[in-house]
Amino acid sequence: MTGRHAARHARITFLGTSSGAPTLARGLPSLALRRGPELFLFDCGEGTQLQFRKAGLRPGRLSRVFISHLHGDHVLGLPGFLMSLQLGGRATPLEIHGPPGIAALIQAVLRLVEAHIGYELRLFEHGAAETVARGDGYQIECRPLDHRAFCLGYALVEAPVPGALDVARARALGVPDGPMMGRLKRGESVTLSSGATVEPAQVVAPARRGLRVAYCTDTRPSDEAIALARDADLLIHEATFAHDRAEDAHAKGHCTAREAAEIATRAGARQLALTHISPRYGDPAPLLSEAQAVFPNTVIAADLMALEVTA
């Protein structure tokens, strides 16, 4: 994670925000994250490929897919999505990350429906907390959550952006233009011909933090979700039920809206987006009110809603 091209900005597009079953207003779980030239897909419920097109997303930008777990509402849209990419003439490789079993599921379905995928599928399975992917200035981390099935939460974590070099200040201290300036910018001290030493802290501004976006669904309240969301600019967290159904939520491996807000508070997140809403809530206003009472900067995701996130 070099940080040379840290974007410090991302666009999140919610493609499906229901849980278990679609409704007329909400499709099954999926969201797209655009960072710079790359596009990532998190979960892929049925109907994702249609929502992808409605959102105006470009398939050619898609480089990585991250699946949380193997329950059907989160993964059964993936085989059709992969076949549509083939029909669209995709030639570049596609990475798919998920829990143990994701490779067997994809391979079995594609074999049974006799689908020919001409581009390279790179399949990765993860069973513990780890860094699952790296790119220019960022990495994707995962941690196991607390669901009925083995389930992964993810976080996009950008490298800090180096602070700017105050060239005028460096010159005033006697640093000549040239390689010494570059060394200070890289965080190295330099010794001048006079014998004096100039430290980076004297002439380089503090590094700026990079972007952090966490995605946590499906899960009961979890310390691992808090770890993924630590100081996040945006936490996307499930809120399947209102808190009057907390016992039912926990039995099914889920959180309430209040609990999602408590997680955002404990993690020090800047913004919370609630998703994975039970079909019982035709009007999600009670969930929003419940969460905002604990964490005011909360929104409820809707299908095709986009959020701009900046570090």
Do 75 and 44 meet the contact criterion of CB atoms below 8 Å apart? yes
Judge if 145 and 212 occupy the same domain: yes
If asked whether residues 70 and 199 sit together in one domain, one would say: no
Are residues 256 and 129 part of one domain?
A: yes
194 and 300 assigned to the same domain: no
| pLDDT of 198 | 95
Residue 296 has pLDDT above 70, yes or no: yes
- When divided into structural domains, the chain yields a total of 2
Residues 196 and 213 in one domain: no
DSSP for residue 164: P
Asked, for residue 2, whether it belongs to a domain, the answer is no
Kindly state whether residue 29 falls inside one of the protein's structural domains. yes
* Cβ contact 210:201 at 8 Å: no
| Whether pLDDT at 117 is above 70 | yes
Cite the active site residues. Answer: 73
Among candidate residues 151, 185, 203, the one where a domain is terminated? 203
What are 250-285's pLDDT values in tens digits?
999 999 999 999 999 999 999 999 999 999 999 999
For residue 186, give its domain range. Answer: 167-203
- Does residue 279 lie within any of the structural domains? yes
The model carries a pTM of 0.90
Same domain for 128 and 211, yes or no, is: yes
Q: Mean pLDDT in the chain?
A: 95
Among candidates 20, 76, 69, 77, which has minimal Cα distance to 51?
A: 77
pLDDT for the residue 232: 98
Share of the chain above pLDDT 90, in %: 93
The pLDDT-based confidence of 2 (bands split at 50, 70, 90) is very low
Contact between 6 and 162 (Cβ < 8 Å) = no
The residues, ordered by sequence, that sit 6+ positions from 104 with a Cβ below 8 Å of its Cβ are none
pLDDT, mean of residues 200-222: 94
Domain identity same for 137 and 234: yes
Cβ atoms of residues 45 and 76 within 8 Å: yes
User: Residue 156 belongs to a domain with what CATH number?
Assistant: 3.60.15.10
8 A C-beta contact, residue 236 and residue 215: yes
Quote the pLDDT of residue 207.
83
Query: Which helix or strand (DSSP H or E) is residue 307 part of?
Result: strand 306-310
Is residue 4, in this structure, part of any structural domain at all? no
Same structural domain, 276 and 295: yes
Please choose, from the candidates 139, 158, 118, the residue with its C-alpha nearest in 3D space to the C-alpha of residue 66.
Answer: 139
Could you give the CA distance from residue 186 to residue 182 in angstroms, rounded to a whole number?
Answer: 6
